[in-house]
């Protein structure tokens, strides 16, 4: 009988964000695949989890995916975790999930921690419709991606390194306009969590003077949709009648 692949979110900062279900699954799994075994060992020790641990990261996942698939088909339950957050969201996980899905292996993804949703909801920007862009290309394709997003009307969510934050905000000003509203969330769920809100120009100026540190999520308002605003105005008039 085939085993199962569990995709298990882990805390992005605060260890208390681990769910009871996630702890149980990791304790019962026959094998835990971790992005960095040193990082994950801290979490596993905290929750008294002593299962077999192996590395599974972007540098070896192509070589290991078939081996992991075969072990699951032989009956082994495997849990996949990343350093922080939900595997597959700007972290290794997609390739293994796709391979297991193609093989008909059951995949059980637990709900849990991720940095993008708290940053989006806390931004004060519309979150009924949004697009997640993750990390933009560092070099090749970056300008193409930014040009494509100039016409995006949904709220946009990006991950970024603190070392590139100021440069990225400057590029956003060029492509989206200095007055576009944004929010930069730093160190989600950690002791020094911070949310800096304002126009791109204001937030860019702040971080130009205050060196950013830690994990960064940038939330940027979409391009104003004049048609939508016009329709909403008509609806208000109609409703008033």
Give the pLDDT score at 226. Answer: 64
d(CA 6, CA 19) in angstroms, rounded, equals 14
Please, what CATH class does the domain formed by 116-226 belong to?
alpha beta
Domain ranges of the chain: 4-109, 116-226
Give the pLDDT score at 178. Answer: 98
Domain 4-109 of CATH type 3.40.1010.10:
yes
Q: How far is CA 30 from the centre of its chain?
A: 27
The pair of structure tokens assigned to 64 is: 């290991």
Length of the chain: 241
d(CA 4, CA 180) in angstroms, rounded, equals 45
Give the pLDDT score at 1. Answer: 80
Give the pLDDT score at 181. Answer: 98
Give the pLDDT score at 219. Answer: 98
Phi and psi for 199 in degrees, rounded to 5? -75, 160
Number of separate helices (H) and strands (E) present in the chain: 9, 10
Strand-pair partners of 199: 181
Task: For residue 111, give the H/E element and its range.
Answer: none
Give the pLDDT score at 241. Answer: 33
The pair of structure tokens assigned to 233 is: 């105005």
Q: Would you call 76 exposed, middle or buried from its count of C-beta atoms within 10 A (0-12, 13-18, 19+)?
A: middle
d(CA 45, CA 66) in angstroms, rounded, equals 29
d(CA 35, CA 95) in angstroms, rounded, equals 13
Q: Mean pLDDT in each 10-residue stretch from start to end of the chain (241 residues)?
A: 95 94 98 96 96 93 94 97 93 94 97 94 96 94 96 97 97 97 96 96 97 95 73 44 33
Give the pLDDT score at 228. Answer: 54
Give the pLDDT score at 212. Answer: 93
d(CA 140, CA 114) in angstroms, rounded, equals 27
d(CA 232, CA 185) in angstroms, rounded, equals 30
């Amino acid at each position: 009988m085939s085993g199962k692949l569990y995709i298990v979110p882990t805390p992005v900062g605060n260890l208390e964000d681990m769910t009871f279900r996630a702890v149980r699954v990791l304790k019962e799994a026959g094998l835990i695949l971790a992005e960095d075994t040193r990082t994950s060992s801290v979490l596993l020790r905290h929750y008294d989890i002593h299962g077999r641990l192996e590395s599974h990261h972007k540098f070896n996942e192509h070589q290991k995916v078939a081996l992991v698939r075969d072990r699951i088909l032989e009956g082994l339950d495997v849990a996949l975790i990343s350093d922080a957050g939900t595997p597959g969201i700007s972290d290794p996980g997609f390739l293994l999930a796709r391979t297991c899905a193609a093989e008909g292996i059951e995949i059980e993804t637990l709900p849990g921690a991720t940095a993008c949703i708290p940053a989006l909801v806390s931004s004060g920007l519309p979150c009924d419709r949004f697009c997640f862009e993750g990390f933009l290309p560092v070099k090749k394709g970056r300008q193409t991606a930014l040009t494509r997003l100039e016409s995006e009307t949904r709220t946009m969510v990006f991950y970024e390194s603190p070392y590139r934050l100021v440069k990225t905000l400057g590029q956003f000003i060029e492509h989206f306009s200095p007055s576009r509203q944004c929010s930069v969330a730093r160190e989600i769920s950690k002791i020094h969590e911070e949310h800096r809100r304002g126009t791109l120009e204001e937030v860019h100026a702040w971080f130009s003077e205050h060196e950013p540190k830690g994990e960064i999520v940038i939330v940027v308002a979409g391009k104003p949709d004049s048609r939508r605003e016009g329709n909403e105005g008509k609806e208000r008039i109609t409703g008033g009648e």
